Amino acid sequence: MQRLEGLSKLSGAERYLDDEPLEGTLKGCLWGMTVRSPASRGKIRQISYGSDFDWSHFVVVEPRDIPGPNETYLIENDQPVLAPGYVRHMHEAVALVAHEDRNLLRRAVASIQVEIDPDPPVLDFRIAPRPDQIQRGTDNIIKRLQIKKGDVHAAFANAYKIVEGEYETGAQEHVYIENNAMSAWMEEGPNGDVVVVRGSMQCPYYVLNALKHALQRDETRVRVIQAPTGGGFGGKEDYPSTIALHCALLALKARRPVKIIYDRSEDMAATPKRHPSLVRHKTAVAKDGRLLAQHIEVILDGGAYVTLSPVVLSRGIIHAAGPYFCENVLIESKAVLTNCVPYGAFRGFGAPQTIFACERQMDRIAHAVGLEPVEVRRINLLRDGQTTSTQQIVSGGTDRHALLDSAVRASDYDKHKRESEAFNKTHPYLRRGIGVATVLHGAGFTGNGEVYLNSKVDVGGRSDGKIEVLAASTEMGQGTNTAFTAIAAEAAGLNATDIVIGVPDTFRVPNSGPTVASRTVMVVGKLIERAIDDLAVQLGQNGKPLRGSALKAAISDWHKKNPGKELKGRATYAPPPNVKFDDKNYVGDAYATYAWGVCIAHVEVDLRTAAIRVLDFTAMQDIGKVINPVLAKGQVQGGVVQAIGWALSEEFKFKDGGMLNNTLTNYIIPTSDDVPPIRVIFHETPYPFGGGGAKGVGELPMDGPAPAILSAVAHATGADAKAIPLTPEKLLSLLPQNC
């Protein structure tokens, strides 16, 4: 089926929040802006409001105007809504201002001076803090986690070779098409006034919980509605809670609607990024290339507040040992506090960082024992019945070795390898190479996370016989609504035109969990199937469910007999059988299932400039049953492009913890000229507990491209790069003299 909102987006008819006129619910709307810290750490001495403005005509919100606790509700409530006299990072929100004239508001906010008595900031997560830099506990550690399997130290004593490596990845900006945007207004409700926020977001119930907490209101007096959302990639998971709180506080004080729209430079400077990482590997290897032991140390830069760092660290370490069997594994990890902008969710959620390190280490292992990179992976890839680093028994039927072999054939790996080596012997300044990465990605929340979420989905039978899907899962460009429509239509035996997807509105939809973690189609899609079963059984006879035209007719007949009443089918999450995880010791089934992939990159390096160009890319993916091949292919291609930028060009420039290159003229993302042909091939192994047989697709494509590209660069030039982004300046310093 075609993408439901494709035509409206293609034609420009889709209305994002900044496109909507200030009328209707936003009539008389004020514009809101944020006053931000100019320093990375210190005490606020004074806020001076410019003398050229009559501030009685402006709405100003400071921390004292917050009705409840000055906390942003998340894993830990350490991040204030507005800095309470002390700032912990550059661009931290200090105060809020609103006015009906947007241009006047901009000038007024620019006139406000925030004076800071500075304290020494922590700006490098790799260096232990001095005593005067401690801001959390005794060591600035946000979270420590460990995975232990077997006896690593004994295995090292019997190793043929021990291979060590240290790998680094940088921050990354989400660059969603639509910047952060939120509106807020007041409505009358049965229990008093209701704060309504509507905007660009991934997780309406995250926003609802944050508003309830800081505004001291229950769910009857706070309403959250998702507006059409132009991209997220994790960047609109937790941060919309912050901008929603800011918007709501201004609306409460003004008693008028308020809209806050970030421009690109503010969005890039002030919102969370991908966590920078440092990963150290020490691997014991047998003579035949088998992994005997893996000792891995993972360090993440968490930024100034906890936000989502604990769960990013969790997913990162679970993926750190890669898709390989090893009897002895020790993974030690920590996320540390710095005075940079808080780092948060980003496509892959910690796995791309640790998989990058693992895959570069595998290439170094191959070199150490005299094997080809493909062969060392073939030797160590997990087989069904073997165990991961958390001692989860791998099952599901995916043949990972067949996946690798198929990718090698589809990419003409051997041919490109031979031709590249011949080319390099004759060309004076161009070098070509090919590289590989094999990856896995857990689908859904980690461990018992899905049980904790207790997600719910309703389907409503409408008076016209159509079925409305009611879920909090959001469409943000990835195709949620189209996939849900296909799943619901198949489950009900109806046409796609008989399915309606309800707008995520916390007054109408149950909490089906956040739109993150490669869970939407797999977990929530399965709940849709079960909710339709519930509806079909209600309308059937003797417990026999109705389907197709009979179900549609029964829905219409029910409404004729019960005018004005609601007809709903419901489903609540139930874990697949025999899925058990020890959250304390990190032992057991970390995920109900995994998606698997193989990435092969062919590159060209210009020795004159050290510029790297990706010539060709193959992505072999096992994501269960593919619900919509066009959308799935787009997800994979988009992930590859995003990963190319992370690998080669998206370099952050910081000064005192603040982003210097916060525009798209000097933060360099790939353009169409930088994108190679991307060959996407699906290997389908349907997952019985996923919607339509699907597993997750959103994050897997981000995991493999960066290490595959650097593997290809190493093949082309001999440069053993261990850090990204690998810009020309960095590669130039690594090129061997004889390449």
Following DSSP, what letter does each residue of 129-143 receive, concatenated? Answer: PPGGG--STTT-EEE
**One domain for residues 192 and 247:** yes
Model confidence band, residue 666 (pLDDT cutoffs 50, 70, 90):
very high
pLDDT tens profile 542-576: 889 999 999 999 999 999 999 999 999 999 999 99
Query: How many other C-beta atoms are found inside a 10 Å radius of the C-beta of residue 202?
Result: 28
- Does residue 386 sit within a domain? yes
- Does residue 146 sit within a domain? no
Burial of 505 (0-12, 13-18, 19+ CB in 10 A): middle
**One domain for residues 532 and 653:** no
Distance separating alpha carbons of residues 219 and 214, to the nearest angstrom: 13
Backbone angles phi, psi at 594, to 5 degrees: -125, 150
Residue that finishes a domain, picked among 213, 241, 270: 270
Average pLDDT over residues 96-122: 98
pLDDT tens profile 479-488: 999 999 999 9
- Does residue 162 sit within a domain? no
For residue 21, the model assigns a pLDDT of 83
**One domain for residues 418 and 366:** yes
Evaluate if residue 526 carries a pLDDT over 80. yes
What does the block give as tokens for 676? 């190679």
Average pLDDT over residues 259-280: 98
Instruction: For 312-334, give one letter per residue: b (16+ CB within 10 A) or e.
Output: bbbbbbbbbbbbbbbbbbbbbbb
**One domain for residues 488 and 567:** yes
**One domain for residues 469 and 442:** no
**One domain for residues 58 and 94:** yes
> Model's pTM, two decimal places?
0.97
For residue 738, the model assigns a pLDDT of 82
Q: Are strands 59-61 and 93-99 parallel, antiparallel or unpaired?
A: antiparallel
**One domain for residues 221 and 88:** yes
**One domain for residues 519 and 398:** no
Evaluate if residue 23 carries a pLDDT over 80. no
Distance separating alpha carbons of residues 577 and 595, to the nearest angstrom: 19
Helical pair 705-717 and 629-648, crossing angle rounded to 10 deg: 50
What does the block give as tokens for 591? 């995920």
Average pLDDT, the chain: 97
Residue that finishes a domain, picked among 539, 572, 605: 572
How many structural domains are present in the chain? 3
Average pLDDT over residues 104-115: 98
* CATH code, domain with 87: 3.90.1170.50
Distance separating alpha carbons of residues 477 and 487, to the nearest angstrom: 18
Model confidence band, residue 412 (pLDDT cutoffs 50, 70, 90):
very high
Say if residues 529 and 487 touch (Cβ distance below 8 Å): yes
What does the block give as tokens for 179? 């910047």
What does the block give as tokens for 580? 């058990």
**One domain for residues 602 and 726:** yes
Name the residue with higher pLDDT: 488 or 541.
Answer: 488
Q: Which residues pair with 602 in a beta bridge?
A: 434, 616
- Does residue 153 sit within a domain? no
- Does residue 414 sit within a domain? yes
- What is the arrangement of strands in the sheet containing 467-470, beginning at the earlier edge strand? 499-501, 467-470, 456-461, 567-572
Residue that finishes a domain, picked among 270, 285, 315: 270
Identify the three-state secondary structure at position 270.
helix
Percent of the chain topping pLDDT 70: 100
For residue 69, the model assigns a pLDDT of 98
Domain residues for 508?
455-572
Model confidence band, residue 130 (pLDDT cutoffs 50, 70, 90):
very high
**One domain for residues 404 and 295:** yes
Say if residues 227 and 181 touch (Cβ distance below 8 Å): yes
What does the block give as tokens for 531? 């909710």
**One domain for residues 249 and 284:** no
- Does residue 208 sit within a domain? yes
pLDDT tens profile 188-220: 999 999 999 999 999 999 999 999 999 999 999
* CATH code, domain with 461: 3.30.365.10
pLDDT tens profile 307-362: 999 999 999 999 999 999 999 999 999 999 999 999 999 999 999 999 999 999 99
- Does residue 136 sit within a domain? no
For residue 26, the model assigns a pLDDT of 87
Q: Which residues pair with 640 in a beta bridge?
A: none
Say if residues 641 and 701 touch (Cβ distance below 8 Å): no
CA atoms lying within 13 Å on the CB side of residue 156: 13
Say if residues 728 and 609 touch (Cβ distance below 8 Å): yes
Distance separating alpha carbons of residues 518 and 233, to the nearest angstrom: 11
Evaluate if residue 596 carries a pLDDT over 90. yes
Integer distance in angstroms from the first to the last C-alpha of the chain? 50
For residue 149, the model assigns a pLDDT of 98
- Does residue 147 sit within a domain? no
Q: Which residues pair with 327 in a beta bridge?
A: none
Model confidence band, residue 737 (pLDDT cutoffs 50, 70, 90):
confident
Task: Give, for 250, the enclosing helix (H) or strand (E).
Answer: helix 239-254
Identify the three-state secondary structure at position 709.
helix
Average pLDDT over residues 368-373: 98
Distance separating alpha carbons of residues 57 and 648, to the nearest angstrom: 49
**One domain for residues 407 and 538:** no
What does the block give as tokens for 570? 């419901």
